[in-house]
Amino acid sequence: MVTLALQTMNPSRATASATLRGDCEFLHCQLDHSCRQFRKRTHWHALRTALPARHLRDESREVVKLGIGLVGTMAALVLGLLVASAKSSYDAQSTEMTQMSANIIFLDRVLAHYGPETQEELELLRKAVVGTLDR
């Protein structure tokens, strides 16, 4: 309401208000970033004081990096296998659906070729296919 009143009374003041609001958002983002950096440094400092010196050596850091690399590689491998399995399942179902459709079309044409005496069977086949597709 205050912004609406400012716009009707003095449009240049409303623009200044919007600029001030943008500056406040920028400052809020900067403050949030600074707080996150401070927390990281505080946690790192607490970790450095809590760990023995032998865990802060370069060899220990290398072991941790290798462990993280191994975990990342295993996660990528598992996700790749999961995607491959899903694609394989989809492809199998798609192939099965295509084959079943081809068989139904073939049966429909064979029954139609026999003439009017298979009309009842044709209707049953069509109703069964429509019922299956509606599920």
d(Cα 99, Cα 87) in Å, to the nearest integer?
A: 18
List pLDDT tens digits, range 122-135.
999 999 999 888 88
3-state secondary structure the chain: CHHHHHHHHCHHHHHHHHHHHHHHHHHHHHHHHHHHHHHHHHHHHHHHHHCCHHHHCHHHHHHHHHHHHHHHHHHHHHHHHHHHHHHHHHHHHHHHHHHHHHHHHHHHHHHHHHCHHHHHHHHHHHHHHHHHHHC
Nearest to 132 by CA among 100, 102, 110: 100
Query: 95 or 22, which is more confident?
Result: 95
List pLDDT tens digits, range 29-69.
776 777 777 776 676 667 667 777 777 778 888 898 999 99
Domain ranges across the chain = 1-50
d(Cα 113, Cα 93) in Å, to the nearest integer?
A: 30
Contact 82, 74 (CB under 8 A): no
pTM, full prediction: 0.49
Based on its alpha-carbon atoms, the radius of gyration of the chain, rounded to whole angstroms, reads 35
